Chain A
Amino acid sequence: MNLSHIEFLVEEALVNLRRNGLMTLAAIGTVALALAVFGGFGLIIWRLERLANSLPPKFAVDVFLKDSVSRQRAQELQKEFETHPNIASVTFKPKEQAWPEFQKELQQEITAALPYNPLPDSFIIQLKDPSRTGDVSKWLKSLPEVDAVRDAKEEVDIILSVATVVRWIGIAGTILLLIATSVIIYNAVRLTVFARRREIRVMQLIGATSGTIRAPFVLEGVVQGLLGAWIACGLIFGVSQLVSHFVMRKLVFIESLGGSPMPVWVVFVVLSVLGAVIGGAVSTLSVRKYLQVV
């Protein structure tokens, strides 16, 4: 295949796209809508999962030491905790620091009446995997130096199960939508190929190889897929801007809990790749039927 032949195939694809205007528009429109639904759903699922996953780490485990434990022993314990495989970070909070904070939280008049600092030294422990909260708490409680452990096991468990459900719904929904999207695009492209099946026969009788006949169709499919994907990106960002303008502003905490929004380029790249791949693949499939040689 020489350069002028490739040039010919590309030119064919572009001329066909332009002169089959309505069919091209219909296919691009279908791709755009299908990918917009797919991408929009994906974005919502992604945010929900991020939200669910971002919650548990906010629940740290508080470990209160017995009064009899020395500062030196506390430092040793901190080292021991830090090497534990499930513990991400350990912060020591001496009673001198905890007391003023506690006083600030409550009303000073009440606490001021107390003649001594009743609070123990404590650790604030962040876990690597929040689902292991129960195990770690149990282990901490079993230590002789530990007086009490405060965790949010129940809350964490609920949130984690919600996150799991969201993730599975997301995966299943994404797969289903991907299939539906492909089928819809396949139908749109198949129609355009069906309308041009006579052309395919003519090309075959002229002596065009299957590759030469197929290439412009596949290129057209890729271009339609890409254009559709870009329109879909525009739709998704337009809608998400509107949503965040009117809804998110009133629910600021969701924004703060959800972590950073999905970067624009990820959606753009994912949809572009999907559009191009699906467009090219369904074109290949659609043309194949007419290319069979006895």
Chain B
Amino acid sequence: MIEIQEASVTYPNGVHALREINLRVEKGEFVFLVGATGAGKSTLLKLITRELLPTRGKVIVAGRNVAEIPPQEVPYYRRMMGVVFQDFGLLPNKTVWENVAFALRVLGLPRKEIRKRTANAVDLVGLLRRCDSFPAQLSGGEAQRVAIARAIANDPPLLLADEPTGNLDPDTSWDIMQLLSHINIRGTTVLVASHDKYVIDRMRKRVVMLERGAIVSDVPCGVYAHEP
């Protein structure tokens, strides 16, 4: 699904965000990207969403070299992935329902289809009762559920989450991870950047550890604390 070959990212200010990363993620996997703030987790995700291009090396997603996608095709490329942010990234002027439906409306789907898929996604995250609420009226956990519903509404093969539990308490974090795990079981490849030791250790998933822009360990059923 994702293949990163010898990818380096150097920002214009000279900071080496990633150094010769090699990473392969198979279809249907659940992978944690862990590491301290500034280790390069978000940069790695941005390579996949094509918000950044590697300074050197290659990023191949679903068989396509990301760098070769022309800018006008980038929106269509991004429709194959859902993205979840630490700060939820909900549109503040839209209700829960509208936020989820929005992701489908920009794709130009027919109304009936939008209604059906929105209902499915909102139901999956358990928020059918809060459909008419605005983001400001939701708890952190609920807001993140809406963001996840939006990310999966289009049923993309890939789900990226950047610190999805960073703003949540441990119990809520655990619920959110369970939700992501559930989505993974349905067949979606899930990539989660996190430093939430509590949930990572309990999930027993593949853990890729980054340190100052390099991968220092990659363990199939790992824990955050794993020493290389």
Contacts and interface: CB of A to CB of B under 8 A. Distances in A.
A207 B111 contact: no
A199 B88 CA distance: 11
A250 interface: no
B153 to A, nearest CB: 9
Nearest to B160: A205
Given A19-B93, A294-B52, A206 B102 contact: yes
B143 to A, nearest CB: 13
Interface residues of A, number: 24
B126 interface: no
Nearest to A210: B75
B148 interface: no
A205 B102 CA distance: 12
Contact of B75 (A5, A8, A15, A207): A207
Interface string B65-79: 000000110111111
16 contacts: A4-B111, A5-B108, A8-B105, A8-B108, A15-B93, A199-B92, A202-B90, A205-B83, A206-B150, A207-B75, A207-B77, A207-B78, A208-B75, A209-B75, A210-B75, A294-B71
Interface of B: prevailing SS: loop
B126 to A, nearest CB: 22
A185 to B, nearest CB: 22
A184 B7 CA distance: 45
A98 B213 CA distance: 104
A293 B69 CA distance: 11
Contact of B78 (A1, A2, A204): A204
Nearest to A5: B108
A207 B76 contact: yes
A103 interface: no
B89 interface: yes
A236 B150 CA distance: 48
Contacts, number: 65
Contacts of A199: 91-92
A294 B150 contact: no
Contacts of B94: 15
B110 interface: yes
Contact of A207 (B51, B106, B110): B106
B117 interface: no
Interface in A193-209: 198-199, 201-209
Contacts of A203: 102, 106
A4 B154 CA distance: 18
Return the 4 tightest CB-CB contacts between A and B, nearest first: A207-B79, A208-B106, A19-B93, A293-B71
B202 to A, nearest CB: 29
Most chain A CB neighbours (cut-off 10 Å) among B71, B74, B75, B110: B75
A16 interface: yes
B107 interface: yes
Contacts of B72: 209-210
A210 B106 CA distance: 11
B144 interface: no
Most chain A CB neighbours (cut-off 10 Å) among B89, B111, B150: B89
A243 to B, nearest CB: 42
A207 B93 contact: no
Contact of B89 (A1, A20, A202, A294): A202
Given A212-B106, A293-B74, A205 B93 contact: no
Most chain A CB neighbours (cut-off 10 Å) among B51, B52, B53: B51
Contacts of B212: none
Contacts of B91: 199, 202
A206 B74 CA distance: 11
